[in-house]
Structure 1
Amino acid sequence: MKKTTSEILERGNNNFDLLRIIAASAVIIYHSFALNPSWGLTDPTKNILTYVTTGGLAVKLFFFISGLLVTNSLLKNKSLVHFIISRAFRIIPALYFVILVPSLFIGPLLTSLSAHEYYSSGLLYEYIFRNLIIDTRYFLPGVSFENTYGFNGSIWTIRYEALCYITLAFLFSIGLHKYTKLSSIICLIIIFEPITPFKGFLFASSDNNGIYLLAPCFALGSLVALHKNSYRPSVWHAVALLIAAVIFHRYEITFSLLVCCSACLFALSLSANRWFIKLKIKNDISYGVYLWGFPIQQILSKYQDLGPVFGITASLFLSYLVASFSWKYIEKPAITLGKKISSSFVYSLPQEKNRPTDS
């Protein structure tokens, strides 16, 4: 008999770290096509699925896994303080690292301005301080590439992930987690909102499915977490959704939603596969790979004409390298510190007897 999601979520019974690294790598590969038009290559996923891209699917997978893990952590620990601290110490340090180092040290090497002009530019401080409060900005003074994506086009998703966390924390704070059926209904409303006349009423009103399907995929992860003790992931669930997507291919929003949900459930089933679990990754570098991939690709594309094979390979290698540094010296110490801080609060609460575990 297949494992329940609850069993899969136990340490050693999944390989979400590898899934996230694959997703982050897929984003880098996808961006290569847009950042290097001279290659004459297009996204194969979009060529096949029309409405869905490789990068789009990868980001939805990130949100699904995030929704699953953080909801499970919140339900398990039942501590809003622990949730807020753990999320902040997981997301913010690496984000600040990828904002501050390029803007203060790499940007001056790439800008067409003098050092004085660069460091005195209001655009520099707008980039830094707006991004530090997750109000995304993309452009550094005098730093231009042969595209309109800014210096780091990947950071746009962080704001939406933070909004998902805030929504989840709010729903928990009003005690909704005590009512599984009602919580499930809310998740279903968020998931199916895009295919209703109320699309954009709850979350993103964009016409880009890369944006408006983020919250539904996060909610799908939360829904699975709510029913972790009864839901047994199966690849056939993903196949069923994919067949449904083919049936509704004429309807872009429905097709895109079904494909993304299918990919998420397939990934969950894959994470519990025995051979996949054996491919253990020592360090969780996926977040760093995602954050650093875009600026590294930008620089390589502008200053090195490596071609598709070597260009993508070099982008991946350098992203892994910087992400490993970020994990070892920024992210992991921050996570450890966050656990110590949150534990001091949790232990002071009489109803919480068990030590919390990070998601």
Structure 2
Amino acid sequence: MSRPGSPANGFDCLRLIAAALVVVHHARVLNGAAPWMIGWGPDPGALGVGIFFVISGYLVTASLRRTPGVGVFLAKRVLRIAPGLLAALLLTALVLGPLVSDLPVADYFGDAAPLLYVLKNFSLYAVTYDLPGVFADAPYPNVVNGSLWSLRLEFTAYLCLAALGALRLARAPVLAGLALLAGGAFLVVHFTGLDTRGELARLASLATLNGWLFLCGAALEAFDVKPPAWTAAVGLVLLPTPAWFLGLPLAVVALGRMPAPRLPADLSYGLYIYSFPLQQVLAEHGRLDVLTSLALALPFAAASWFLVEKPALRLKARLPGAVNLALRPVF
């Protein structure tokens, strides 16, 4: 179990910071304002998601090494993502949706869209963003939960890592080589003038960027790299530049490995999956800012952790050969 001040707690703190950065970003764009950029680097949302992917690559690679089989590894990943996601989708479609929809309740539930919203988004790969009459008058209209796109990339990364593990290729040189391929592909997509406003090009940009970050985290763990604290400063120096993504993996791992206070709960995932629709409610009523966003979303994140995520994580101990080291999630 993670102890007070132990390095494992550093990643927990970073995850919460990453989720808060996404909330900060959406507090602007869901009000119809242009995103705030960090110099010539990323917006806070891209930075927050990037931090998630580095941490995920680093920690799930360690999990794969400790896990007796690929099936158990994937079962752990499903237990981390699926229960909290399903609860959020059901609450959004069956409770929030009819409360805020412009349609009468009978018309709302007479449409198949609420059920399809749950089923498609729970599949991770058939992501849909709209519900009947929901947020039609918001400054950023007809998008119920724009944060869901990243989960399919996250789970795809898990599947790819599991495949490498099954083939006995989840080794440091292979992961480093794949990271370089992903990074090179991102440079081609991003710096050759390709219009990323189209859905396919946008997905290619997001997949290659976050694939680079995930694989860098994985390679750093596989090489057993323990970056010194000063590498975090290098990452911060690069942050307001177009090369921000190059320094981020070392910075995140260096910061994550530093001793930090133990958090009473991991609210990062719940904050990530609940904040967007709740911020849309605030935006429709002209009350959206960072403070109102956190005040509304954090109780939902706490309920998600204590009522859904933490009980689901206990099931990991029942998996064949699994060791319940702690109820600290690997996102």
| TM-score, normalised with respect to structure 2 | 0.85
Structure 1 partner of 2:214: 218
Could you tell me which of 1, 8, 20 is aligned with 2:15? 20
- What is the Cα deviation at residue 121 of structure 1? 0.8
CA contact (8 A) 1:20 1:286 kept: yes
Structure 1 partner of 2:287: 306
Q: Deviations over 1:123-147 (max 9, x none)?
A: 2222121112112110001112232
Could you tell me which of 329, 335, 344 is aligned with 2:313? 335
* Alpha-carbon distance in 1 for matches of 2:48, 2:227: 19
CA contact (8 A) 2:11 2:257 kept: no
Q: Which amino acid aligns with 1:19?
A: L
Q: Deviations over 1:71-98 (max 9, x none)?
A: 1110122421221111001100111111
Could you tell me which of 203, 206, 227 is aligned with 1:233? 227
| Inter-CA distance 173–297: structure 2 relative to 1 (3 Å threshold) | same
* Alpha-carbon distance in 1 for matches of 2:177, 2:269: 31
- What is the Cα deviation at residue 44 of structure 1? 4.3
Q: Deviations over 1:262-301 (max 9, x none)?
A: 2332222222334xx13x3110110000011111111011
RMSD over aligned CA atoms reads 2.9
Structure 1 partner of 2:197: none
Could you tell me which of 156, 176, 188 is aligned with 1:163? 156
Q: Deviations over 1:301-343 (max 9, x none)?
A: 112x336xxx311211221111000000000000101331x1x
Structure 1 position 260 matched with structure 2 position 253: no
Could you tell me which of 180, 185, 188 is aligned with 1:193? 185
Structure 1 partner of 2:254: 269
Q: Deviations over 1:172-192 (max 9, x none)?
A: 111113x54334323332333
* Alpha-carbon distance in 1 for matches of 2:110, 2:298: 33
Alignment size in residue pairs: 315
Q: Deviations over 1:212-258 (max 9, x none)?
A: 31111110111111111xx2213443555676788xx6xxxxx3xx3
| Inter-CA distance 234–127: structure 2 relative to 1 (3 Å threshold) | same
Structure 1 partner of 2:132: 141
| Inter-CA distance 149–339: structure 2 relative to 1 (3 Å threshold) | farther
- What is the Cα deviation at residue 41 of structure 1? 6.9
Could you tell me which of 25, 46, 54 is aligned with 1:56? 46
* Alpha-carbon distance in 1 for matches of 2:325, 2:184: 31
Greater C-alpha radius of gyration:
1
Q: Give the gaps of 5 or more residues in structure 2.
A: 195-199
CA contact (8 A) 2:121 2:128 kept: yes
* Alpha-carbon distance in 2 for matches of 1:330, 1:122: 26
Structure 1 partner of 2:266: 284
Q: Deviations over 1:149-196 (max 9, x none)?
A: 61111111111111111111111111113x543343233323333225
Q: Deviations over 1:94-114 (max 9, x none)?
A: 111111111011111111112
Structure 1 position 67 matched with structure 2 position 57: yes
SS in 1 for 2:265: coil
| Inter-CA distance 114–306: structure 2 relative to 1 (3 Å threshold) | closer
CA contact (8 A) 1:285 1:320 kept: yes
Q: Which amino acid aligns with 1:12?
A: S
- What is the Cα deviation at residue 207 of structure 1? 7.2
| Inter-CA distance 245–131: structure 2 relative to 1 (3 Å threshold) | closer
* Alpha-carbon distance in 1 for matches of 2:75, 2:215: 21
| Inter-CA distance 26–268: structure 2 relative to 1 (3 Å threshold) | same
Residue identity over aligned pairs, in percent, reads 27
Q: Which amino acid aligns with 1:150?
A: V
